[in-house]
Amino acid sequence: MSGPCLDFTGRRVLVAGGSKGIGRAMALAFAAAGARVSVCAREPGLAALRADARALGLDVHTASADLAVLDDIGRWLGDAAGALGGIDVLVNNATGYGMDDGEAGWEASLGIDLMAAVRASRLALPWLRQSSDACILNLASIAALQPRPGAAPYAAAKAALMHYTTSQALALAPQRIRVNAIAPGSIEFDDGLWARRRTQDPALYHGTLARIPFGRFGQPQEIADAALFLCSPLARWITGHTLNVDGGQVLMG
């Protein structure tokens, strides 16, 4: 008898914040696995995502949205559920990258990294409850696990998101909705944070690289692979868990 696999044929997957980097990799990976996928993000990145999908022979539904705005989240969820025929998987990936310890930094991280996930999860529940295999996946960060004086808002928001994941998992288990999180390590991709730091702050770049036991930065596809597993039937008995995907980076402190 064959067991469950990473086949998402017929499943409806929504990715909040998916126009580049990790979000893009997840959206394309779910689509390649057979899922019907909807992505929301700021418009400039969506055109490139649609082109990338077409080049791979994939079709991805997209919608422009500001995930710091409640009405935008609700509008995207309604449009996406209508276009795909429902929602089975919600991936909360958006980040405001609030690094500065001022009002703007805290508003960006709490408003997007945390509250966008809270709002999208709550508003998606009517559709998730109708699914026979529903799950929510939150994208946290290993920054949540250690003091980050240079990025306190980002780290605090991700720590809150990790804790919220456990609360969500317990609250939604009676409804058979699984909730997990991924905590990526340092991930490098074109025009991403670490690609920019390679030239803008080489000391930080190489210092971080030296603390990754595998000797390289992670790649978005490696996070996408973990996302497919956690949202698949192979993880059907996993909920309330945060999976570090970091090449052992967190082990180095």
- What residues are labeled active site? 154
Spatial separation of the C-alpha atoms in residues 244 and 223, rounded to whole Å: 10
Spatial separation of the C-alpha atoms in residues 183 and 181, rounded to whole Å: 7
97: left (phi over 0), alpha (psi -120 to 50) or beta: left
Q: Are 99 and 28 contacting, i.e. CB atoms less than 8 angstroms apart?
A: no
Q: Are 194 and 217 contacting, i.e. CB atoms less than 8 angstroms apart?
A: yes
The three-class DSSP label of residue 5 is coil
Task: Return the DSSP state at 104.
Answer: H
Nearest Cα neighbor of 186 from 200, 206, 172, 167 is 206
The three-class DSSP label of residue 8 is coil
The continuous run of DSSP H or E covering 156 comes out as helix 152-172
Query: Which residues fall within 8 angstroms of residue 252, CB to CB, at 6 or more apart?
Result: 211, 212, 213
Q: What share of the chain is helix, strand, coil (3-state, %, to 5)?
A: 50, 15, 35
